[in-house]
């Protein structure tokens, strides 16, 4: 390597090293905060935040890294909630097998929905996912195992691995935290794998990816199924945390809510959806008992974000001078 090439590569190497150190510090601080959080906040609120943060990250895997806008992700979130609640309550499955059932069910739903949806692009893709999601909503309304408008209630949390009592809020919180961290590691590994790199190339220039010989449809379907499975993981957790599964979980408003969370935080970033979910869930929690309508407040915040933070809050931070100084790069 010539001296000129080495000189040109030094800034990039230094930025990469700085980014790696910064990410490590943030991860350590974040883990410490999550471990200590039950001492300062209501565990149920924290568990809800983690479930929706995982849901938003799963959705971001499809939108931020593949460029596919789905209006039907409530199908996977709510479908897994129903599957998990049913097998745990009616069939006596332990919580770990119940959640696994929800994940597998959501992945199968994603395979079927993705098979039809990926044949179209842009707004047509979004409308197909919305139409199929509404079909699933009406199925859940009529199916016997979902118990219609009443939903599946009094879902037992059970004992994890047969001896950890999840009826304890502390035990349940750390179980949810563990599953959340596993989900985040899976997402991080997925987007930093060769498969994830190809998805980014499809997002940036699909015709070029096709010209290079990649089977774009298969990669899109793979991303769709992975996103659906992770959304199902969040939905199954949610049904155990709140001990019920209802039509609210599969309604189109839930799909809109996860889109809002992702856009607020910043699409195409790993931390952005977590921040967006935390913001929306916190607003819902603290404004629920006030006279301020939550939907109007979140709508106003969304409009401000679109006008001022075009990349989302975390995305704008990455693109800012401070973000670049710390070594972050916004690749959206």
> Which whole number is the average pLDDT over 211-235?
91
Question: 101-151: per-residue pLDDT in tens?
Answer: 999 999 999 999 999 998 888 888 999 999 999 999 999 999 888 888 888
Average pLDDT over residues 195-223: 87
Q: What is the pLDDT of residue 307?
A: 77
Q: Which one, of 239, 309, 203, lies nearest residue 84 by Cα?
A: 239
Domain interval for residue 95: 14-325
Examine residue 186 and state whether it is found in any structural domain, yes or no: yes
Lowest mean pLDDT among 14-28, 68-82, 171-185, 288-302: 14-28
- Split into its structural domains, the chain has a count of 1
Kindly report the three-state secondary structure assignment for every residue of the chain.
CCHHHHHHHHHHHHHHHHHHHHHHHHHHHHHHHHHHHHHCCCHHHHHHHHHHHHHHHHHHHHHHHHCCCCCCCHHHHHHHHHHHHHHHHCCCCCHHHHHHHHHHHHHHHHHHHHHHHCCCCHHHHHHHHHHHHHHHHHHHHHCCCCCHHHCECCCCCCEECCCEECCCHHHHHHHHHHHHHHHHHHHHHHHCCHHHHHHHHHHHCHHHHHHCCCCHHHHHHHHHHHHHHHHHHHHHHHHHHHCCECHHHHCHHHHHHHHHHHHHHCCCCCCHHHHHHHHHHHHHHHHCCCCCCHHHHHHHHHHHHHHHCCCCHHHHHHHCHHHHHCCCCCCC
| 243, 153 contact by CB (below 8 A) | yes
Q: Which of 287, 44, 58 is nearest to 187 (CA)?
A: 58
Backbone angles phi, psi at 122, to 5 degrees: 60, -135
- Classify residue 265: in a domain, yes or no: yes
Q: Is residue 8 part of a domain?
A: no
Question: Could you tell me which residues are beta bridge partners of residue 160?
Answer: 164
- pLDDT tens-digit map of 269-290: 888 899 889 888 888 887 777 7
Confidence category of residue 322, pLDDT binned at 50, 70, 90:
low
Residue 40 included in any domain: yes
**CATH code, domain carrying 50:** 1.10.3470
Which of 54-68, 96-110, 250-264, 310-324 bottoms out in mean pLDDT, i.e. has the lowest? 310-324
Within a domain: 62:
yes
């Amino acid at each position: 390597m010539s001296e000129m090439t080495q000189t040109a590569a030094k800034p990039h190497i230094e930025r990469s090293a700085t980014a790696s150190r910064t990410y490590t510090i943030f991860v350590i601080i974040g883990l410490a905060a999550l471990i200590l959080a039950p001492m300062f906040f209501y565990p149920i609120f924290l568990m809800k935040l983690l479930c929706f943060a995982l849901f938003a990250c799963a959705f971001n895997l499809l939108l931020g890294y593949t460029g596919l806008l789905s209006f039907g992700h409530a199908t996977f979130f709510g479908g897994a909630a129903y599957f998990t609640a049913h097998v745990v309550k009616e069939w006596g499955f332990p919580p770990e097998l119940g959640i696994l059932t929800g994940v597998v069910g959501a992945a199968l739903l994603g395979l079927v929905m993705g098979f039809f949806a990926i044949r179209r692009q842009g707004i047509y893709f979004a409308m197909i996912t919305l139409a199929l999601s509404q079909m699933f909503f009406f199925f859940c309304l009529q199916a016997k195992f979902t118990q219609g408008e009443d939903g599946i209630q009094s879902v037992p949390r059970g004992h994890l691995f047969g001896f950890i009592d999840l009826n304890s809020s502390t035990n349940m919180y750390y179980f949810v935290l563990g599953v959340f961290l596993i989900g985040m590691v899976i997402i991080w590994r997925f987007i930093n794998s060769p498969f994830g790199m190809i998805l980014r190339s499809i997002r940036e220039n699909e015709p070029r990816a096709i010209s290079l010989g990649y089977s774009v449809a298969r990669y899109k379907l793979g991303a769709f199924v992975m996103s659906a499975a992770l959304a199902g993981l969040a939905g199954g957790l949610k049904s155990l945390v709140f001990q019920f599964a209802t039509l609210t979980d599969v309604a189109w408003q839930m799909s809109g809510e996860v889109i809002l969370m992702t856009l607020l935080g910043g699409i195409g970033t790993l931390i952005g959806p977590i921040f967006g979910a935390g913001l929306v869930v916190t607003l819902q929690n603290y404004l629920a008992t006030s006279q301020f309508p939550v939907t109007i407040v979140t709508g106003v915040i969304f409009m401000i974000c679109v006008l001022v933070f075009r990349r989302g809050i975390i995305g704008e931070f990455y693109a800012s001078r401070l973000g670049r100084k710390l070594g972050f790069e916004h690749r959206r």
